[in-house]
Amino acid sequence: MTMTMTMTIEVDVTIKLKHGVADPEGENTKKALDLLGFRDVRGVKTMKTFRIEIEPEKGNEEKVMQEVEEMCRKLLANPVIHDYTISVVKSERR
């Protein structure tokens, strides 16, 4: 029996609103925290993080990053109102 080694890469994509775009959810959360007595909070901004697990062909991390960038442009982020960051969380062979 032969075991095949596969590589898995986990990538975090964090989507956040661009500077100057209204964040009503963050603002409402800040108000609620203030009402609960957390008066030191100066601001709350919402973000969304996707953890994407990919099995790349031939363990090519550069190709994975390009693919995730394309995912952001096509689906995950709206370039008009969002900025995003992509970071590799874990890269391992199984």
Residue 37's Cα: distance from chain center in Å?
Answer: 30
Q: Read off the pLDDT of residues 25-38 as tens digits, 9 standing for 90 and up.
A: 999 999 999 999 99
Give the per-residue pLDDT at 82: 98
Domain boundaries, the chain: 7-93
Direct distance between the N- and C-terminal alpha carbons of the chain, in angstroms, rounded to an integer: 16
Q: What is the pLDDT, as a whole number, of residue 72? A: 98
CA 89/CA 94 separation, integer angstroms: 16
Fold for the domain defined by 7-93:
Mth169; Chain: A , (3.30.1280)
| Integer Cα distance of 7 and 90 in angstroms | 10
Q: How many residues does the chain have?
A: 94
pTM: 0.83
pLDDT-based confidence at residue 92 (cuts at 50, 70, 90): confident
Q: Between these two residues, 5 and 52, which has the higher pLDDT value?
A: 52
Mean pLDDT of 44-60: 91
Helix (H, G, I), strand (E, B) or coil at 82: strand
Residue 1 confidence (pLDDT) above 70: no
Whether pLDDT at 94 is above 80: no
DSSP at 10: E
